[in-house]
Every structure is written in C-alpha cells, then in structure tokens.
Chains A and B, each alone.
Chain A
Amino acid sequence: DSGVTQTPKHLITATGQRVTLRCSPRSGDLSVYWYQQSLDQGLQFLIQYYNGEERAKGNILERFSAQQFPDLHSELNLSSLELGDSALYFCASSVGGHSNQPQHFGDGTRLSIL
C-alpha cells in the first residue's frame, strides 16, 4: 500500500462528457503528479503540483486541467472527452518536488470512454 488514494477506481462515460479524478497524497507529501498510461503511449507525465502551486507541465491537453487544494488533495478534470482519452490515470506524490525524492503511485483510475 503506497498510501496514495485515487478515486474512483473505474469510470465509464461517453464522448463529450466531463469527469473529475481525485487523488489524496501520502500523509506529509506536498507534491502531487498526474500521469496518463495508454496502451500505445506508455506512461506520460501530465502535470505536477507542489503545495498548491503548479510546478511542471508535461503533455497535458488543453481540455484537461488540474488543481491542488489547501488540504493537498488534487483533482484532475477531463472535459470534452474523446475515445482516445481512454486510459489509466495515475496520481503520485512525493515529500517535496525535487529530483532526489521518490514518487509513490496510487493504483490508478481506469477511464473508459464509450
């Protein structure tokens, strides 16, 4: 058990819809990362937050947005969903945001677009 909690575990929705994925980091961790894993793209870094502030941005689409709240939990919002957005979405957390600190991953949210 990594201590990172992601909800929901599974989500099925239709094209054009909007969903929100939630992540609770490990106790004491200030940094949260979001990743997308699809069969043809592997693990893609989306975005990182540190103590409520955006720290780094990766291959995140404009239709996607994220935020980290004062209690340090984070949400990833996906809108105008397309079939290609079907993937596993992972959240990870670390104590700080620096490169010498390991990331601890949740079990992911499996998003299926019909």
Chain B
Amino acid sequence: DAKTTQPNSMESNEEEPVHLPCNHSTISGTDYIHWYRQLPSQGPEYVIHGLTSNVNNRMASLAIAEDRKSSTLILHRATLRDAAVYYCILRDNTGGFKTIFGAGTRLFVKA
C-alpha cells in the first residue's frame, strides 16, 4: 500500500492561509488523494479529494503536483475551529480497497 508522509505539527495564525503538505512518492496511477481532519473528541471528517487536477470546495483547496508525488491542502483563512489533526491518505480500487491512515499533521491555530 502506498504511504504518505506529513509533518507532525504545524502552527498558523488565525485568519491567515495554511498550507499543509503531504508527500506520496510511491503513489500509483489509480490512487486518489483524500484529506480528512479530526477535531478533538470527534470522528474524522472528510475535507476534500482529487486524482490529478486541483480541486476546490467550500472547506479547502487541494493542489496536486504535476508528478502527483506530493499534494498540499490549503485552508484559505484559518479559524480556531480548524485546529485539528489533518490526515492525507491514498485510496485505490486495486489494492483491496484498504484505507491507510498515517499519523497526520496536528494543526495549531493561534488567535
């Protein structure tokens, strides 16, 4: 199963943009890149996903490198409610449909 690498933690100021990086150098052509976040005492929450093109939704933007070996989750204006652990994961239809979560990045947001 392809793995992802993320920084253990990052810090941001409130109302500033946040760029959360993820490396996935062993990604295969059929792997989708998904991002989830987990707020304290809650289950993981879907944020965004993509395959090759950049994606935008109401929560965030996902920028995918041209070689697909890395991606960046962009929160355009961080709020205190965005403080969470962010997971970047790869999912494919050929590897038994497993979903492998890494350790994620803990995002701290300062007021």
Query: Which B residues, 19 to 65, have Cβ-Cβ distances below 8 Å to chain A?
Result: 30-32, 34, 36, 42-46, 49, 51
- B87 partner residues in chain A, CB cutoff 8 A: 43
A26, chain B: closest CB distance, angstroms:
12
Contact B99 A97 (CB under 8 A): no
- B100 partner residues in chain A, CB cutoff 8 A: 45
- B43 partner residues in chain A, CB cutoff 8 A: 2, 4, 90, 92, 105-108
Interface size class of A (residues with CB under 8 A): 20 to 34
Interface size class of B (residues with CB under 8 A): 20 to 34
Q: Cβ of A98 < 8 Å from any Cβ of B?
A: yes
A59, chain B: closest CB distance, angstroms:
9
Query: Which residue of chain A is the closest to B94 with respect to CB atoms?
Result: A99
Binding site secondary structure of chain B = loop
Contact B45 A100 (CB under 8 A): no
- B44 partner residues in chain A, CB cutoff 8 A: 43, 90, 92, 103, 105
- B82 partner residues in chain A, CB cutoff 8 A: none
Residues of B near any A CB (own CB < 8 A)? 30-32, 34, 36, 42-46, 49, 51, 87, 91-93, 96-104
Q: 13 A-B Cβ contacts within 8 A?
A: A35-B101, A42-B102, A43-B44, A45-B98, A45-B101, A48-B97, A48-B99, A56-B97, A98-B97, A99-B31, A99-B92, A103-B36, A105-B46
Residues of A near any B CB (own CB < 8 A)? 2, 4, 33, 35, 42-45, 48, 55-58, 90, 92, 97-100, 102-108
